[in-house]
């Protein structure tokens, strides 16, 4: 920090840019951007840092004769210099200046600063509302995503249960059809004769007459036809290659005979 002819600015020399810088600097210290260990950022409300922001804003924009280095800790530099701190405190906190500043000049600057701080308060309230709305939107987005995943899981579970029930019902129907082949008459015959061969013959006969057997035969025939069709397709794919190979052999034989 370099000091030359230190003094409070005249009220008429405070530019619009100076005023904007004061407002933005003070307002910025009410919020701090933090980052967790996973790289996720969040905005923390830090009104307890506003005093630092006010001291920095005033020393940079409302006082003449101070020049700060680019990477300098402005707050610590001001706090460690009694002359600068006296002027800054007079504007920010209304304390008595020891530098012989005219009372009316100090009062004008205090009033200007207080007016700027009122606008800071408006900005702070706006940013607080904005951050609350953003957090609510993030919360709703997270809840909507989790609800969507839950619904997907429930739908998948319902489909699996439906498929399982359909398979179970089909199995029950097949079991009933198979059980219907062993009629009470067949069971009575088996109980009277205890003839395993006779029972098996009766079951085979009943099975041969059943719709289940007919469907199995139809499936077997269909699979056989599909297999034959596949073989035919394979042979059809091989035919051009065979023809090409035969032509090559014939051409080779013809060339050999011609040479002899």
Residue-level pLDDT at 80: 93
Place of tokens 């099975």: 207
- Residue 249's region, left for phi above 0, alpha for psi from -120 to 50, else beta, is alpha
User: What pLDDT score does 256 carry?
Assistant: 47
Token pair 């919020």 is found at 31
The token pair at 124 is: 């702070």
Nearest one of 53, 54, 55, 56 to 32, comparing CA atoms: 53
Residue 112 and residue 16 in contact, taking contact as beta carbons nearer than 8 Å: no
Question: Measured between alpha carbons, how far is 33 from 29 in angstroms, rounded to an integer?
Answer: 10
Q: What is the pLDDT of residue 257?
A: 47
**For residues 178 and 216, what is the distance between their CA atoms, to the nearest angstrom?**
13
Chain mean pLDDT for the chain: 75
The rounded Cα 134 to chain-centroid distance in angstroms is 16
Question: Can you give the pLDDT at residue 35?
Answer: 76
CB atoms within 10 A of CB 6: 15
Q: What is the predicted pLDDT for the residue at 98?
A: 59
Segments in the chain below pLDDT 70: 96-100, 135, 137-158, 160-162, 164-165, 167-168, 171, 174-223, 225-227, 229-260
- Distance CA(115)–CA(132), nearest Å, equals 26
Give the pLDDT confidence score for residue 153 in this predicted structure.
63
Yes or no: say if 182 and 161 are a contact pair by the CB < 8 Å rule: no
DSSP 9: P
Share of the chain residues as helix, strand and coil, in percent rounded to the nearest 5: 75, 10, 15
- Are 49 and 124 spatial neighbours (Cβ–Cβ below 8 Å)? no
């Amino acid at each position: 920090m370099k000091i030359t002819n230190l003094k409070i600015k005249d009220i008429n020399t405070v530019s619009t840019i100076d005023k904007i810088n004061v407002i933005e600097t003070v307002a910025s210290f009410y919020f701090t951007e933090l980052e967790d260990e996973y790289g996720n950022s969040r905005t923390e409300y830090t009104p307890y840092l506003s005093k630092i922001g006010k001291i920095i804003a005033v020393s940079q924009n409302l006082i003449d004769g101070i020049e700060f280095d680019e990477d300098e800790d402005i707050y610590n530099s001001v706090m460690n210099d009694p002359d600068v701190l006296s002027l800054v405190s007079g504007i920010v906190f209304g304390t008595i200046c020891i530098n012989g500043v005219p009372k009316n000049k100090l009062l004008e600057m205090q009033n200007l600063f207080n007016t700027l701080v009122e606008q800071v308060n408006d900005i702070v309230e706006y940013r607080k509302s904005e951050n609350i709305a953003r957090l609510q939107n993030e919360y709703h987005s997270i809840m909507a995503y989790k609800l969507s995943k839950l619904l997907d899981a429930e739908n998948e579970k319902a489909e699996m249960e439906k498929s399982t029930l359909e398979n179970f019902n089909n199995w029950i129907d097949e079991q009933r059809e198979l059980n219907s082949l062993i009629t009470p008459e067949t069971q009575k015959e088996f109980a009277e004769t205890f003839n395993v061969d006779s029972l098996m013959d009766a079951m085979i006969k009943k099975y041969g007459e059943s719709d289940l057997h007919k469907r199995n035969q139809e499936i077997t025939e269909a699979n056989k036809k599909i297999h034959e069709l596949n073989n035919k397709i394979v042979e059809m794919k091989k035919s051009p290659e065979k023809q090409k190979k035969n032509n090559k052999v014939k051409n080779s034989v013809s060339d050999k005979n011609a040479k002899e």
